[in-house]
């Protein structure tokens, strides 16, 4: 079974600064997908970024980028030029590519943006 | 394009009752999954349906059940409600194979009193 660990329950960052959220995972599989989801107070989980394990290049979506270290089983999220709208809970999630269509989530990191 | 729609948004039920939650996926999405979110246990997978068939099931008691209709809409049912069933229930939809990630609805907040 896979596990996902987010060791930072809370983080804060000044507006316009950069922040990195950490995520580690444990799996014996070699083919999988990793995601970062954002959950604002509206409750809807919003997909921020995805990474395919067999792609070495780190994914980037505008101000969001990841640092994917497959050997270390690490998948951190970097948010550049933080904005007030980035304030939310952020969840790291794992998805196997072997027919088990189930997301395994970490416990989340609450990100606060300081104006 | 409409997103994933969950109804109702809020629900209050009494212990021992049963409840049915509804989820309409994005048009064209045939896979629907359900997750339970609580402060203590976090996000936990309940089950996943594809083409009216349950493909995967999480580790929940048999009081939790679901189904999917031919139009891909899904319902989940919880019978004999317990106080511990109070949670946010999230529905997510995807194409047949969710490699692009799931799209979630805004959830149903269930409170059992």
Q: Which of A33, A29, A13 is nearest to A78 (CA)?
A: A13
pLDDT at B98: 64
CA dihedral B5, B8, B14, B16 (to 10 degrees): -40
Task: Dump pLDDT digits (tens) for B28-83.
Answer: 999 999 999 999 999 999 999 999 999 889 999 999 999 999 999 999 999 999 99
CB proximity B40 to A under 8 Å: no
CB proximity B92 to A under 8 Å: yes
Question: How distant is the Cα of A38 from the closest Cα of chain B, in angstroms?
Answer: 11
CB proximity B45 to A under 8 Å: yes
Residue B48 has its nearest CB partner, among A44, A91, A101, at: A101
- Interface A:B, Cβ pairs < 8 A: 56
Q: Give the contacts of B2 (CB within 8 A, at least 6 positions apart).
A: B24, B26, B27
- The Cβ of residue A55 has, within 10 Å, a number of other Cβ atoms equal to 11
pLDDT at B95: 82
B1: pLDDT strictly greater than 70: no
Instruction: Go through B95-104 and write b for each residue having 16 or more CB atoms within 10 A of its CB, e for each that does not.
Output: eeebeebbbb
Which pLDDT tens digits describe chain A residue by residue (115 residues)?
A: 889 999 999 999 999 999 999 999 999 988 899 999 999 988 899 999 999 999 889 999 999 999 999 999 999 999 999 999 999 999 999 998 876 778 999 999 999 999 9
Task: Dump pLDDT digits (tens) for B13-27.
Answer: 999 999 999 999 999
Q: Rounded distance, CA B85 to CA A100, Å?
A: 25
**Model confidence band, residue B100 (pLDDT cutoffs 50, 70, 90):** confident
pLDDT at B97: 67
pLDDT at B38: 96
B99: pLDDT strictly greater than 90: no
Name the residue in chain A with its Cα closest to that of B50.
Answer: A101
Q: Which of A69, A58, A89 is nearest to A25 (CA)?
A: A69
Give the CA distances from residue B64 to residues A23, A85, B19, B43, B89, in Å, rounded to whole numbers and listed in that order. 30, 36, 10, 16, 12
**DSSP 8-state symbol, A31:** S
Radius of gyration of chain A (CA): 14
Interface with chain A: mutation pick from B102, B105, B108, B110, highest number of A CBs within 10 Å: B102
Mean pLDDT (whole number) for B85-94 = 96
Length of chain A: 115
Q: Rounded distance, CA B7 to CA B23, Å?
A: 7
Question: How distant is the Cα of B73 from the closest Cα of chain A, in angstroms?
Answer: 18
pLDDT at A49: 96
Q: Rounded distance, CA A44 to CA A51, Å?
A: 21
pLDDT at A22: 98
């Amino acid at each position: 079974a896979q596990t996902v660990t987010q060791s930072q329950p809370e983080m804060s960052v000044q507006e316009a600064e950069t922040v990195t959220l950490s995520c580690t995972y444990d799996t014996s599989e070699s083919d999988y997908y990793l995601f970062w989801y954002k959950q604002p107070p509206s409750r809807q989980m919003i997909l921020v970024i995805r990474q395919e394990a067999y792609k070495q290049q780190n994914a980037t979506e505008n101000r969001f980028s990841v640092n994917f270290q497959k050997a270390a089983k690490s998948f951190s999220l970097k948010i550049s030029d933080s904005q007030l709208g980035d304030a939310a809970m952020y969840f790291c999630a794992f998805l196997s590519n072997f027919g088990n269509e189930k997301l395994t989530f970490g416990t989340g990191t609450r990100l606060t943006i300081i104006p | 394009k409409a997103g994933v729609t969950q109804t109702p948004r809020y629900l209050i039920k009494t212990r021992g009752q049963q409840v049915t939650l509804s989820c309409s996926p994005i048009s064209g999405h045939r896979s629907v999954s359900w997750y339970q979110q609580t402060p203590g246990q976090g996000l936990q997978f309940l089950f996943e349906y594809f083409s009216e068939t349950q493909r995967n099931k999480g580790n929940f008691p048999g009081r939790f059940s679901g189904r999917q209709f031919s139009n891909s809409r899904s319902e989940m049912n919880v019978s004999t409600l317990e106080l511990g069933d109070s949670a946010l229930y999230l529905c997510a939809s995807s194409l047949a194979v969710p490699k692009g990630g799931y799209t979630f609805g805004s959830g149903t907040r269930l409170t059992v009193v």
